[in-house]
Structure 1
């Protein structure tokens, strides 16, 4: 449900970090190095979480998966640019 889902997701993240569970979860992360030609964007990707931090997990996409990932990043960048432009106009 939309009421409990976000709370459960946050609880899972907190349990994973505080419990030092060293689990792989999908989290929104800032990608600094290139993944299939993509970098410098925040997007949901698999990462290993524990009490010492967040560590990237290599992504191996193929064919249509690469295309879909690249299209998602393009949409995120376009929406981010639009939001930033609106914020600048509203001052």
Structure 2
């Protein structure tokens, strides 16, 4: 790009001004790209946080459901054990 400008301009001052303008535009594009990448990372982070929150909520619900099932099974197994013990005792009782 600068070679083309060197051939088309007549004075060194014009070339210097034009090259500074090109450098400025180049820096500006780089800054825009950097800002665009940062924004993308921020968007990804917020999406990630949202999905993590959703997963955490699902896990809490699952743990609560499993806890209820364990309590139910524990209560029923205790009552079944009591009934089994009583029937075992009754079987060998001499009447």
TM class by smaller structure: 0.3 to 0.5
Higher strand share: 1
Taking structure 2 as the reference length, the TM-score comes to 0.32
Q: Which has the higher contact order (CA 8 A, sep 6+)?
A: 1
